[in-house]
Structure 1
Amino acid sequence: MNQKYQTSESALSPSGRFGRLSYLGWNMLMSFSILIIIGIIATFSPDLFTNPSALTGSSMVAAILIGIAYIALLYFSFVFTIRRLHDRNHIGWLSLLILVPGINILFVLYLIFAKGDDRSNQYGPRRITKGWEKILGWIYVLIFPIGILSAIALPAYQDYVTRAQQAEMEKSIHHVD
């Protein structure tokens, strides 16, 4: 077995390293998992999302499950960030930067674009990125910009439609006079 690559560690442990595509792939897997969990919860307790002030027994359980999912999301976000920092030969404590507004965006961009060490470092040997991690990582790379563009474009389009409808209504009111 080639000692250059570490293959037996758990990806869910903060020890070890993640290359860029492994980091993105595991984040994409986590995002899919959270979406599925929230979808299941929304299916069985739709009033949690439509009328959160009227908590019933089932929606209380759903709210607790969402809280647990959020804690798991936060934990694994830190684990994946620590592993990515280790790939850059940085200490895991820098992962706390994801909690600082504004800096967190620049920090995540750094983690995505900065190349890791090609050789072993103090956190172990380079880890081979698995095939499925590469696929999910590239899906993340493709979906993320589309999501950002949608978050910008859809509200702008909705605002345009609203203003056009108002202008049309004003035009028809003035036309009647």
Structure 2
Amino acid sequence: MRSSVQGTHLANDSPLSSHGRFGRLSYAAWTLISSLFFIMACLALGFGIYQMSQRQVTPSSQFSLFMFFSIGSLYIFFLYYNFVFIVRRLHDRNQNGWLSLLYLVPLVNIIFMIYLLCAKGNERLNDFGPVRTTCAWERTLGWIYIILVPVGILIGFAAALIIPEYQHYLQ
């Protein structure tokens, strides 16, 4: 579905395809969705593995192999879609998707993620197509993600400082 609004074309395409563009809030929303899916799938898998281990249905070597492949498959699925979202976000900046490989470089990936969340995209048609419409629910989820990331980082830092001090206090 494409329409013309003040000389700009709007696209409404499949968000799971690497073709097309993602604005900042669409990128944040779909990253949140994939992260939540990954966490829920890992929790469900962990619960199922725990239940199987309590019943001792399978020998431990088969059990470990099953767990390894299950979590590995989930992670590959999660990583693939994160790359799709990153490529779409780079397309919105009129940049090549190969820059998404920066996501694999430790420490650079943090700066790269901040860049993807903060850098404004092209407002007009570019080499990768028309601007994609950001739905209202994507805006809402995008802002939730943008708020959750710094709050999570602050909680992590606080826990890293408080827990060792509390353990030292207990001793």
TM range (shorter): 0.7 to 0.9
Q: How many pairs are equivalent?
A: 161
**Helix, strand or coil for the counterpart of 2:3?**
coil
* 1:147 partner amino acid: G
Query: Aligned letter for 2:74?
Result: A
* Match of residue 151 from structure 2: 146
| C-alpha displacement of 1:59 | 4.5
Query: TM-score scaled by structure 2?
Result: 0.87
After TM superposition, the structure 1 stretch with the greater mean CA deviation from structure 2, 23-32 or 145-154, is: 145-154
Match of 2:24 in 1: 20
Q: Which residue of 1 aligns with 2:43?
A: 39
Over the aligned positions, Cα root-mean-square deviation in angstroms equals 2.0
Give 1:130 shift: 1.2
Question: Is the 1:6–1:126 contact (alpha carbons within 8 Å) kept by the matching residues of 2?
Answer: yes
1:29 aligns with 2:30: no
Unaligned runs of 5+ in 2: 53-58
Query: Which residue of structure 1 aligns with residue 75 of structure 2?
Result: 70
> Which is worse superposed, 150-159 or 86-95?
150-159
Give the equivalent residue in structure 1 for 2:3: 2
Q: Deviations over 1:83-107 (max 9, x none)?
A: 0000000000000011111211111
Are the counterparts in 2 of residues 47 and 59 from structure 1 also a CA contact under 8 Å?
A: no
Fraction of identical pairs, as percent: 41
Q: Which residue number corresponds to residue 164 of structure 2?
A: 159
Give yes or no for contact 1:45–1:59 (8 Å, CA) kept in 2.
no
Q: Distance in 1 between matches of 2:84 and 2:77?
A: 10
For the 8 Å contact 1:21–1:129, the answer to whether it is kept is yes
- Counterpart amino acid of 2:148? I
For structure 1, the residue ranges without an aligned partner over 5 or more in a row are 49-53, 167-177
CA distance in 1, matches of 2:51, 2:170: 32
Which runs of at least 4 in structure 1 moved beyond 4 Å after TM superposition? none
- Distance across 1 between alignment mates of 2:85 and 2:108: 18
The SS at the match of 2:163 is helix
Secondary structure of the corresponding residue to residue 101 of structure 1: coil
- The answer as to whether partners of 1:6 and 1:128 remain within 8 angstroms in 2 is yes
The equivalent of 1:172 in structure 2 is: none
Offset at residue 151 of structure 1 (A)? 1.1
Question: TM-score, normalized by length of structure 1?
Answer: 0.84
Cross-structure match for 1:117: 122
1:135 deviation in Å?
Answer: 1.5
Q: Is the 8 A contact 1:15 1:83 kept in 2?
A: yes
